[in-house]
Amino acid sequence: MPRAFLIVIDSVGIGGAPDAQMFFNGDVPDTGANTVGHIAQTAGLNVPVLDALGLGAAVQLASGLDAPGLGGTPTGAWGAATEISPGKDTPSGHWELAGVPVPWEWQVFPDTDPAFPPDLTAEICAKAGIDGILGNRHASGTKVIEDEGEAHLKTGWPICYTSADSVLQIAAHEEAFGLDRLLQLCKDLAPTLHAMKVGRVIARPFVGDVGSFSRTGNRKDFAIAPPSPTICDYVHDAGCKVYAVGKIGDIFSMRGIDDLRKGRDAVLMDHVNDLVDTAADRALVFANLVEFDSEYGHRRDPKGYADHLQWFDGALGKLLPKLRADDLLIVTADHGNDPTWIGTDHTRERVPVLVYGIGARTLGQVAFTDVAASIADHLDVPYNGEGTSFL
């Protein structure tokens, strides 16, 4: 019986978005951003497994760039997907891959100091039982903890920040502030933010002392629920198992999810390997590997990003031979985050769609929603979402 494995390598864009000029990092439009292409040009890439699936060909199709080191002849099925949702963020990309384009404009906070309206700041203080907040601006998560961590330990005030995404992030020390207290604060604030059409409230716990703070793996996203059924719902409602690996449970508010596994990317790939061996027939394994984005894209680290892509390539090479003959595996992304680009935010790009299990062929230009339609087709489950199967 068939199974489907969908791996989202977070932010691994391939350039060429037709509306990139409408999206910005600061005052600079995303026109010309190309995550994979520019990494290949500046840091070099050796990813033979991904290239054999069609990564280089997908970059060329999406953006016209012949990326150095990615000139292999594809032995998988490959294409380039274009997003229509009015955002370049995690929920928009994942929902659309799951068959639901975002039907509204996300609320984003202005790049001012302070960034949050007084009534929201007052609600944070009231719910946390404190007199003020730190941050209150657009910021890099690691940098804002470095800048505000000492004051956080002295005052007990949480560090609240945002970005060009539709998000409120709250960082706090797991021991001094309390992990459970942080998670409860974010959970309590989420309904207010969701009513504002802010996509996520994210708890960002950290540990350590001044000069050596580090974020932990206990991050939790409280995301607004999708407005209509996703591929997770359709598979689940058909009586089939849906396994969420990484942030997927948070992104979809656990709707349609039967099993959740979390951890850092290396641990998540171990989970995917385990599920190749153990997942039920007609199951969907839906994984997100976030460190491409969080550790290297936002930090504008092309070399680190290249190394992580090469790590994933090796891990994927070990996984593919374990798949069953009737398994379908799709590797794709949710947006771009070009580490050579100005600023620190995501970049509007097309994404690769690399498919193992249907032979070698060109899929051409596809829609994000075609991924969901194809999974439903492969698993033979009823599907009323958007998209057209490319199987």
Single-letter amino acid code for the residue at 269: M
Which of the 8 DSSP states describes residue 336?
Answer: B
pLDDT surpassing 90 at residue 243: yes
**pLDDT > 70: percent of the chain:** 100
Q: What is the mean pLDDT of the chain?
A: 97
pLDDT surpassing 90 at residue 18: yes
Both tokens of residue 384? 């009323």
Q: Per residue in 41-82, pLDDT tens?
A: 999 999 999 999 999 999 999 999 999 999 999 999 999 999
- Measured between alpha carbons, how far is 218 from 99 in angstroms, rounded to an integer? 28
Q: Which helix (H) or strand (E) holds 144?
A: helix 141-155
Residue ranges with strand state E in the chain = 3-9, 24-25, 28-29, 77-82, 134-138, 159-162, 167-173, 200-207, 214-215, 220-223, 242-245, 259-261, 284-289, 327-332, 351-356, 361-367
Q: Per residue in 322-346, pLDDT tens?
A: 999 999 999 999 999 999 999 989 9
Instruction: Bin 99: left if φ > 0, else alpha if -120 < ψ < 50, else beta.
Output: left
Q: Per residue in 104-160, pLDDT tens?
A: 999 999 999 999 999 999 999 999 999 999 999 999 898 999 999 999 999 999 999
Residue 48: cis peptide before it, omega within 30 degrees of 0: no
Residue whose structure tokens are 């309206």: 117
Q: Per residue in 248-298, pLDDT tens?
A: 999 999 999 999 999 999 999 999 999 999 999 999 999 999 999 999 999
Residue whose structure tokens are 């009823």: 382
Q: Is the dihedral of CA 324, 327, 328, 330 positive or negative?
A: negative
pLDDT surpassing 90 at residue 164: no
- Measured between alpha carbons, how far is 87 from 345 in angstroms, rounded to an integer? 12
Q: Which of 168, 142, 191, 188 is nearest to 301 (CA)?
A: 142
pLDDT surpassing 90 at residue 165: no
Name 243's bridge partners.
259, 285
Q: How confident is the model at residue 217 (pLDDT cuts 50, 70, 90)?
A: confident
